[in-house]
A = this chain, B = another copy of it.
Amino acid sequence: MFSYMGRVLELDLTKGKATPMTLSEDLVKRFIGGRGIGASFLWDLLKPGVDPLSPENVLIFSVGPLTGTSAQSSHRWVAQFKSPLTTTYFRSVGGGFFGAELKFAGYDAVVVRGRAERPTYVYIENDVVEFRKADIVWGMTTDATRDFLRDETSKDSKMVVIGPAGERLVRISAIVTDDMRTAARGGGGAVMGSKNLKAIVVKGSSRPTIYDEDAFREVVKEQVERFVKNPVFERLKAFGTDGSCYPFYTLGHFPTYNFKQLELDNIEAFRIENLTKYMVKHYGCYGCMIRCGKVFKLTEGPYAGVVWDFPEYETHWSFGGNLGITNVEAITVANMLCDKYGLDTISTGVVIGLVYELYEKGIIGRKEIGGLDLRWGDPEPMVNLVRKIALREGIGDILAEGVKRAAEALGRGAERFAMHVKGLELPAYDPRSAKANGLNLVTSPIGASHTMGWNSYEIAGIPQKMDPLSVEGKAEITKYVQDRVALIETGVFCTLPWNRWMMDEELYSRMLYAATGIREFNDVKYLLLVGERIFNLERLINAREGIDGKYDKAPLRIVKEPVPRFPSKGQVFEEEILLKDYYRARGWDERGMPTRGKLNELGLSEVKPASTRIDVK
């Protein structure tokens, strides 16, 4: 028998009933944990074609076999659901302390179904599960909700909550932890909102069991040693993801002006030496010595006095470069508003980018946007629009639907300027400047998510350099990276330290085996096959929703308009060639669907039920 918590809690909000279940051994072997388990549950439980904002949608929170152990950087949690933004399968990953606490309460996953009649939060303290009234916190920002729910439960409670945006079913709303980490993408906040679920609050007192304590201690020791002697570790520790703003801009990422990719005046503002002056504190997620979180203090301009979590690289971009804005103070405040209201900073910035460009082109007028004068680089209207989107005020009510739906609703050719894949807004990378990275954005089952296949080869030359502008070999490397990320997120690991020197598959396999005693995990090839299995299963869930290769599609601008600035000057995204290669590398047919042979190879020809129901205690 292997060592694994293996407990899942099903919450039926309609009936107000909590049912603990056990994971089958077969399922754990095939999917490990985290994202794998969640995808498998969704395959089993989600009826195709349901409205993502209906009680029929299923929302799964999961952690993995290393969560809550002494391993470093492996304590994230995964939210999976059918997305109200993309109508695809979706997975969104969050940090903080919620994942570890869920494990301490004795659960590897929570499956949320139905819809509560009234605003509700669920309080889980080990085996005791309560459905509680959330009337008082309904309507509150995330931070106020946290404070109130800690008063009502325990000052040590960890939780996931939604803000006013999720309550208002904003399709780009986030799920937010007590410490303002987010599973931001895909509208998970709206899924919780549609279920009248304001929060899941957890307090646990057990610790995960380890199969071989001595071996595990040794492998974690090795992991820590590898961390501390790596320069990437020091850089992340010192600067977080902020360190990437300026260098990535020079490499052709950090797209400017809604992907027009013009030179950005005052890009100097994002040089790390100009950002460190804002940093007043470092903080980290549970069990992570990187502590990439930074706190910014603003002392000048209209936002002086504000102290908040720094805007990550993506947020510096979405509210910054993407809008021609280099005012760090305003970007920090926009980030704060997103955390408080519960919004995805990437999607919110991109949808604002759409209106900035539509206004520039004269496609929408000042009256339509509540009198705002949207000039590239002007931060005030941006901050204003964030609030309007969260509260669905004026034009915000249209933008709250996400960039694809907003452009369709506005009409007049607005779709040309809506930067998304499958409805998910593009992140801070230009497919034209890094082709494998772009290929991931286009093919990812959840739309343009950088995290599903962030290509360190092309972007950072890690573990080895690769010409980002060439199309050669990009299909294979994209497949490898995507499968590997799926594997990483079974842990549930953070991808930041996965640079070969700090973390790699080999070290992971030893950690997994020592922790669980599952012999199969002691084999890197087996693990990568699990990653591929997960990725293909996600594709199958989409197929069931009618979403196939036709949706693997970059915005027209990316395919047609050459980049005007160095070093990607003249480049477009060679979508057709890249996709053809990619489907072949994946063993998929020309419609982008896994072949029967591939499914057999992955053991997906007949997907088994994910769980065995057991009686409530």
Contact = CB atoms under 8 A, between A and B. Distances in A.
Interface stretch (A254-262, A300-308, A498-506, A509-517): A300-308
Contacts of A341: 305
Contacts of A299: 139
Contact of A302 (B139, B281, B391): B391
A76 interface: no
A302 B140 contact: no
Interface string A392-414: 01000000000000000000000
A305 B386 CA distance: 14
Interface in A42-67: none
A307 B387 contact: no
A324 interface: no
A305 B298 CA distance: 23
A148 interface: yes
A53 to B, nearest CB: 20
Interface in A287-326: 297-299, 302, 304-307
A387 B281 contact: no
A280 interface: yes
Contact of A136 (B141, B280, B305, B390): B280
Interface in A126-165: 136, 139-141, 144, 148, 163-164
B139 A305 contact: yes
A253 interface: no
A340 interface: yes
B144 A302 contact: no
A281 B393 CA distance: 28
Contact of A281 (B148, B164, B306, B390): B148
Given A148-B281, A280-B136, A307 B141 contact: yes
A130 to B, nearest CB: 20
A304 B148 contact: no
Nearest to A141: B305
A144 B304 contact: no
* Number of this chain's copies in the complex: 2
Given A305-B340, A305-B341, A341-B305, A140 B391 contact: no
Given A140-B297, A148-B281, A297-B140, A164 B391 contact: no
Contact of A305 (B140, B280, B302, B304): B140
Interface of A: 136, 139-141, 144, 148, 163-164, 280-281, 297-299, 302, 304-307, 340-341, 387, 390-391, 393
A307 B151 CA distance: 14
A141 B305 CA distance: 5
Contacts of A307: 140-141, 144, 148
A304 B391 contact: yes
A127 to B, nearest CB: 29
Given A148-B281, A281-B148, A304 B136 contact: no
Contacts of A280: 136, 148
A369 to B, nearest CB: 15
A461 to B, nearest CB: 36
B297 A387 contact: no
Nearest to A390: B305
A306 B141 CA distance: 6
Nearest to A283: B151
Nearest to A393: B302
A485 to B, nearest CB: 34
Given A304-B164, A341-B305, A297 B393 contact: no
A315 B453 CA distance: 53
Top 10 closest A-B pairs, CB basis? A144-B307, A139-B299, A141-B305, A164-B305, A140-B307, A136-B280, A304-B391, A164-B304, A139-B297, A305-B341
